[in-house]
Amino acid sequence: MSNCNSNKEKDIQNLRDAGCDETIIQHYLQAMEAGNQEEAVNLLEHHRNQLLEQFHRCSNCIDCLDFFMLHFGSGR
């Protein structure tokens, strides 16, 4: 039983480390406990897609800043 709790605690920490909020974590755990692995994976895929969109937005901002820094660095 303690090994099961230990694995659950590790899963929760891993989900937190991945940026999942408590709502996502609880839905994930409920889906897994109900044996609905497909729903659990869908939750994680949705969260991953949100993180990827955020990454791309930040990447575009960095590209714009790099352009301006290069432009100003050339003696504008």
* pLDDT tens-place values along the chain, 76 residues long: 567 778 999 999 999 999 999 999 999 999 999 999 999 999 999 999 999 999 999 999 999 999 999 988 765 5
Which residues have CB under 8 Å from 19's CB, separation 6+?
47, 51
How many Cβ atoms from other residues are within 10 Å of residue 20's Cβ?
19
> Using CA atoms, how far apart are residues 4 and 2, in angstroms rounded to an integer?
5
Helix (H, G, I), strand (E, B) or coil at 24: helix
Backbone angles phi, psi at 19, to 5 degrees: 90, 10
Report the C-alpha dihedral over residues 44, 46, 50, 53, rounded to 10 degrees.
110
pTM given for the model? 0.76
